Structure 1
């Protein structure tokens, strides 16, 4: 296996895990908590989902042929809660991820050093992937934090729970 193929396989897996982590967190909360703020300057999970999906659709549509910041994207609108229904929110979430994965799955190792543009700034495809890895994981962390906040002591850990880490055998 080449380094490029291994890289693409790894990032595909990591993004899939990231998506699953956010969904497991969102599934633990009541539907209305998707739209709840913890203070007036915070974003709700719904707003984070709107932003992530809007970003994915903009960045990954016509990935090689147009700037990743599409002229019809209204980034500021993504930070206003305009979706108020859980089902519609999750449909938009799926649309964003589907757009992203369809493009990611078409990228070959020969594409990794090609130049693409985001906001008129040149990036290699690998840089663009890593940029989104950072961006999406940042927001997934916010989703998990908020869901855990809302669940309190009812939270079911998405990793190894505290004090449950297996002891090493030497």
Structure 2
């Protein structure tokens, strides 16, 4: 599997887990801050949206930190509906995935800038994968804290590891 295909696969998996988490919660739960120093799930969505628009707009030709981005405001999310929140989520991911889909192998060693710092396209993609994974993990954790026993695992449910392993091993036979 080539790098771009792998990056797209991983990005889509992150989007899927974040989407499933958002789907399970109502607007009040999405706006809930677990503590005074925590971000709500809505804050994280707004931050990811701002980051994605900034990083992936004119990806190969402009610095990834755009003048129009208001990063500090991303952590003060206010939504009138869950649909409004989900629209930002989808818009950010659509730009991210389309941009990566339109890259080719020759683009991977090109240099781009983020906050004036040179990096290869591969480094920039990896930077965003790590960033997005940390925030989607936060989203899932917040969702799990809110729903507690009502949370349905997005991976292998607790106590089902051996069953899952055997199922995987049997698929290969």
TM-score category (smaller protein): over 0.9
Which structure 2 segments of 5+ residues have no match?
A: none
Kept in 2, the 8 Å contact 1:29–1:147? The answer is yes
Q: Matched residues in 1 for 2:32 and 2:67: separation?
A: 30
Q: Matched residues in 2 for 1:146 and 1:82: separation?
A: 17
Correspondence for 1:113: 109
Q: Matched residues in 1 for 2:162 and 2:23: separation?
A: 27
Task: Point out the structure with the larger helix share.
Answer: 2
Q: Matched residues in 2 for 1:166 and 1:41: separation?
A: 38
Greater RCO (CA < 8 Å, at least 6 residues apart): 1
Correspondence for 1:18: 14
Which structure 1 segments of 5+ residues have no match?
A: none
Q: Deviation above 4 Å: which 4+ runs of structure 1?
A: 167-170
Correspondence for 1:60: 56
What is the CA-CA distance between 1:142 and the residue it aligns to?
Answer: 0.3
TM-score by length of 2: 0.92
Kept in 1, the 8 Å contact 2:26–2:82? The answer is no
- What number of residue pairs does the alignment pair up? 166
Pairwise CA RMSD:
1.5
TM-score by length of 1: 0.93
